[in-house]
Amino acid sequence: MRFDSITEETIVTLVHRFYERIRDDAELGPVFERVVDGHWDRHLGTMVRFWSSVMLKTGTYHGSPMQAHMRIPGMEAGLFARWLSLFEETAAELFEPPQAERFLERARRIAESLQLGLFFRPGAAAALSA
């Protein structure tokens, strides 16, 4: 049975299930382990607050995702596609389609924004085409 509403409790389930997948993933697991090792409970709490703020407008998250991702060693643009794929699988598994799509719409925008902020370099693109 899938969830038909987005609540604090269902967000907790999503975050925990998603990060179980992340930890088991050959691509993303090592990157996250380098950064989060020994602090998983704190990271999961932060992600619950983040998604609660995004989906329920609770205002419980007070961080800066861009700055947090800028400090990650080994961060590569291609990792976002894998992150999004695992997130999509998890949301589709746990939520009815309308609720899953609400999560996915926001996750896609977040991933795109982070990718642009972290990796888009206008001067580099112009130099390649010259």
pLDDT in tens, 47-69: 999 999 999 999 999 988 777 77
Q: Is residue 76 part of a domain?
A: yes
Domain count, the chain: 1
Percent of the chain at pLDDT above 70?
88
Q: Is residue 49 part of a domain?
A: yes
Contact 31, 10 (CB under 8 A): no
pLDDT at 64: 80
Q: Is residue 2 part of a domain?
A: no
**Average pLDDT for residues 104-114, to the nearest whole number?**
93
The CATH number of whichever domain residue 15 belongs to comes to 1.10.490.10
Q: How far is CA 110 from CA 11, 65, 69, 116, in A?
A: 17, 9, 12, 10
Q: Is residue 111 part of a domain?
A: yes
Q: Is residue 128 part of a domain?
A: no
Q: Is residue 25 part of a domain?
A: yes
Range of the domain at 88: 8-121
Q: Is residue 3 part of a domain?
A: no
